[in-house]
């Protein structure tokens, strides 16, 4: 389906935060790539490092205390980590853009939507003001805001949550980016509006052949829109495969735990299988596998050996000792 | 089973400030506009709808945290809608609330023991009883005894929600209104809290009103579900019936919009156009007609009544659903 070469490659990314209480390894060895027109889902709970992965790509890690200590982020073959601030500014918002979770706080309340759209357009394109204005109108039309001409002159508080998220998407799409990172874009929205927005993403992707990185905690959203998924836990990817594979033959105990712990809309009254315990404190991760203290299949070895991401099937990677044993030559000794 | 709570024609209108000078008509926001339902003892009623549909206001009006504008609330057969002062205070013992935000609903300067025993102090339980009860409550919600001298910031979100639940159970209430109790929690923790709530319901024979926007969670926990739209109940039925055979177009759209964790499912999705209209200025006739794919002239003019639409008590308010007389 996607035969082109990847547009964005992340290799062995480590983003750490140096705090008084110790080093927080927010992102601790993340690898993935994404091709044009493809949607990659990053799933995880709060603190799993999914948003920090996105911020690292955008070059928006606050430094200090944050620092990308290792790894490469290659966009169209060039390493973004060696770019200067000015070069990054040209890429950010133009080539790679981002939609944030909270449409209520990510727009500036004292400027009209038109002003905020035009600001983005003029920052990256050599348009005249008039050209920028008509582009802004076109964008609002594109994301399905009724009566766009009148709405351009409105302030953010005059829009509902769903409409604001559309405006955010319009701003993100202003310069036809090749990669769009959407960080929990529908979490703050009602389901009927979520359905509208997800539909909009699909339509935009078809039209512009964008690569989308969809960060979410909702496996339903993943099943709906993603081609491939990476499940993250405590800063590390624990499973990485095609969406269908994940749902049909997901392997990592954490992935399976997540799937069993969500109530489905069709079946009722089976006790939910909760995952015991809480996610670990990133400042003092347990030795061995970070998921071991909550894992149902925990073995003696899990407490000492941190498993590596192993390919168990074609393009299906799992980080778990249960699956490393099958090809024992790959087991790493502590 | 006996009826624990009955609500008839409950209304809560909030006056709006920006009325025109000298104008006689005072604009109001009809947050809850005439809802009626009853709950059996030991039952869970789910209340779902989009934000702004009045589900939280309904919950608060029943608890009389805000005074309803109109309508009657019968709790164990007694009309409590005019209770004030001491009488109301005594009643509060039997009705409790679990809040959405476990970060904001606990006092950061009080230890867990102080938080949980506060209601007991107000109702003058002896020190010994308080202590015994505290230990028991910590145990049933899955916390340890040594937690009691800690402060809220030392706990995770899921644990804090457990503390909130323990507090709400401190006076052995019969009715617990849960206002989005799990929506602020991570998925893996959500399941823990839902399971806990189900266990507690069995153990203490609690009756829940479960207010949430997550339709899957509501389906899981509820016996019956009421769907609200702009302050009105548009459909109410047994949970399984409602989810398998929704009659009202809004319920159908709402259910079809929920993304399911199954990539092979080809879902016929009804995508509603537009947003929820402002409750300050609701549409005429059927309030849903502006977004309804089947709306016709009659919907614009006449307001449909909630009527029985299946032989086992499913009720819906739509002109185009046939009435069934049982």
Domains of chain A (ranges plus CATH)? 8-95+175-330 (3.40.50.300)
Which H or E run includes B38?
Answer: strand B28-40
Q: Is B69 helix (H, G, I), strand (E, B) or coil?
A: coil
Count A/B contacts: CB-CB distance under 8 Å: 130
Find chain B residues with C-beta within 8 A of A276's C-beta. Answer: 192
Residue B306 domain-assigned (yes or no): no
Find chain A residues with C-beta within 8 A of B240's C-beta. Answer: 268
Q: Give CA–CA dist A57/A52, Å, rounded.
A: 9
Residue B269 domain-assigned (yes or no): no
CB nearest to B192's CB, from A218, A258, A274: A274
Find chain A residues with C-beta within 8 A of B262's C-beta. Answer: 223, 247
CB nearest to A218's CB, from B50, B259, B262: B259
Residue B311 domain-assigned (yes or no): no
Contact criterion met (CB < 8 Å) for B240 and A274: no
Question: CATH number of the domain that B49 lies in?
Answer: 3.40.50.300
Q: Does B241 touch chain A (CB under 8 A)?
A: no
Do residues B210 and B178 make contact, with C-beta atoms less than 8 angstroms apart? yes
In chain B, the residue whose alpha carbon lies closest to the alpha carbon of A229 is B263
Do residues B10 and B58 make contact, with C-beta atoms less than 8 angstroms apart? yes
Residue B113 domain-assigned (yes or no): yes
For B229, the domain range is: 3-16+28-242
Whether residue B166 is predicted with pLDDT greater than 70 in this model: the reply is: yes
Q: Give CA–CA dist B60/B68, Å, rounded.
A: 9
Residue by residue, pLDDT tens for chain A (334 residues) are: 455 789 999 999 999 999 888 888 999 999 999 999 999 999 988 888 998 999 999 988 888 888 999 999 999 989 999 989 899 988 998 899 999 887 778 889 999 999 999 999 998 888 899 999 999 998 888 888 888 888 999 999 888 877 888 899 889 988 889 999 999 888 877 888 888 889 888 988 998 899 999 999 889 999 989 999 999 999 999 999 999 999 999 999 999 999 888 887 776 657 888 888 888 888 888 888 999 999 988 888 899 888 988 888 888 999 999 887 654 444 443 3
Could you tell me the two tokens for B93?
A: 């013992």
Q: Cα distance from A274 to chain B (closest Cα, Å)?
A: 5
Residue B78 domain-assigned (yes or no): yes
Residue B295 domain-assigned (yes or no): no
Residue B312 domain-assigned (yes or no): no
Contact criterion met (CB < 8 Å) for A220 and B50: no
Do residues A313 and A245 make contact, with C-beta atoms less than 8 angstroms apart? yes
For every residue of A115-145, DSSP letters joined together read HHHHHHHHHHS---HHHHHHHHHHHHHHTT-
Find chain A residues with C-beta within 8 A of B216's C-beta. Answer: 262-265
Q: Which residues contact B121 (CB under 8 A, 6 or more apart)?
A: B130
Contact criterion met (CB < 8 Å) for B260 and A264: yes
As for how many domains chain B has, the answer is 1
**Neighbour count for residue A117 (Cβ, 10 Å):** 23
Residue B324 domain-assigned (yes or no): no
């Amino acid at each position: 389906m996607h035969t082109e070469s990847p547009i964005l490659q992340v290799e062995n990314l480590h983003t750490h935060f140096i705090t008084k209480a110790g080093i927080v390894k927010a992102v601790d060895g993340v690898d993935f790539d994404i091709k044009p027109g493809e949607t990659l889902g990053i799933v995880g709970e709060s603190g799993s490092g999914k948003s920090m992965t996105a911020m690292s790509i955008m070059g928006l890690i606050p430094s200090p205390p944050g620092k990308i200590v290792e790894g490469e982020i290659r966009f169209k073959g060039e390493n973004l980590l060696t770019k200067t601030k000015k070069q990054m500014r040209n890429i950010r918002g133009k080539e790679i853009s981002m939609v944030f979770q909270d449409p209520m706080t990510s727009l500036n309340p004292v400027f009209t939507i038109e002003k905020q759209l035009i600001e983005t357009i003029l920052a990256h394109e050599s348009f005249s003001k008039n050209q920028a204005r008509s582009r802004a109108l076109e964008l609002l039309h594109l994301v399905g805001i009724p009566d766009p001409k009148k709405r351009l002159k409105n302030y953010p508080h005059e829009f509902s949550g769903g409409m604001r998220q559309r405006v955010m998407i319009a701003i993100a799409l202003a310069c036809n980016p090749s990669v769009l990172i959407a960080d929990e874009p529908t979490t703050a929205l009602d389901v009927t509006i979520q359905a509208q927005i997800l539909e909009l993403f699909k339509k935009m992707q078809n039209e512009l052949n964008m690569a989308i990185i969809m960060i979410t905690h909702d496996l339903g959203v993943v099943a709906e829109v993603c081609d491939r998924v990476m499940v993250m836990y405590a800063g590390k990817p624990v499973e990485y495969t095609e969406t269908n594979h994940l749902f049909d033959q997901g392997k990592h105990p954490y992935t399976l735990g997540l799937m069993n712990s969500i109530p489905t809309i069709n079946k009722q009254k089976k006790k939910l299988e909760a995952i015991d315990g809480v996610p670990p404190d990133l400042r003092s991760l347990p030795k061995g596998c970070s998921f071991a203290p909550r894992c149902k299949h925990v073995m003696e070895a899990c407490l000492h050996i941190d498993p590596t991401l192993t390919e168990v099937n074609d393009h299906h990677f799992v980080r778990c000792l249960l699956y490393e044993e099958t090809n024992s030559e790959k087991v790493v000794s502590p | 089973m006996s009826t624990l709570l009955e609500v008839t024609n409950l209304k809560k209108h909030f006056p709006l400030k920006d009325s025109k000078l000298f104008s006689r008509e005072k604009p109001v926001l009809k947050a809850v506009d005439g809802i009626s339902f009853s709950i059996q003892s030991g039952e869970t009623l789910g209340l779902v709808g989009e934000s702004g549909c009045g589900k939280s206001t309904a919950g608060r009006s029943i608890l009389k945290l805000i005074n309803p504008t109109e309508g009657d609330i019968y709790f164990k057969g007694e009309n409590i809608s005019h209770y004030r002062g001491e009488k109301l205070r005594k009643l509060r013992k039997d009705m409790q609330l679990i809040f959405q935000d476990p970060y904001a609903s606990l006092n950061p300067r009080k230890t867990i023991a102080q938080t949980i025993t506060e209601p007991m102090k107000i109702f003058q339980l002896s020190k010994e009883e308080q202590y015994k009860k505290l230990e028991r409550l910590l145990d049933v919600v899955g916390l340890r005894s040594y937690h009691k001298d800690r402060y809220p910031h030392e706990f995770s979100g899921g644990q804090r929600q457990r503390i909130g639940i323990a507090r709400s159970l401190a006076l052995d209430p019969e009715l617990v209104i849960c206002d989005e109790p799990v929506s602020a929690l991570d998925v893996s923790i959500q399941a823990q809290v839902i399971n806990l709530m189900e266990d507690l319901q069995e153990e203490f024979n609690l009756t829940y009103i479960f207010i949430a926007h997550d339709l899957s969670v509501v389906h899981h926990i509820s016996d019956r579900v009421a769907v609200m739209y702009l302050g009105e109940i548009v459909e109410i039925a047994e949970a399984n019936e409602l989810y398998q055979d929704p009659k009202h177009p809004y319920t159908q759209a709402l259910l079809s919009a929920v993304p399911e964790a199954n990539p092979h499912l080809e879902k016929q999705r009804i995508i509603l156009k537009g947003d929820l209209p402002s409750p300050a200025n609701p549409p005429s006739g059927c309030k849903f007609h502006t977004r309804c794919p089947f709306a016709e002239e009659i919907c614009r003019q006449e307001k449909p009544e909630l009527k029985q639409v299946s032989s086992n008590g499913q009720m819906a308010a739509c002109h185009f659903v046939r009435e069934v007389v049982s």
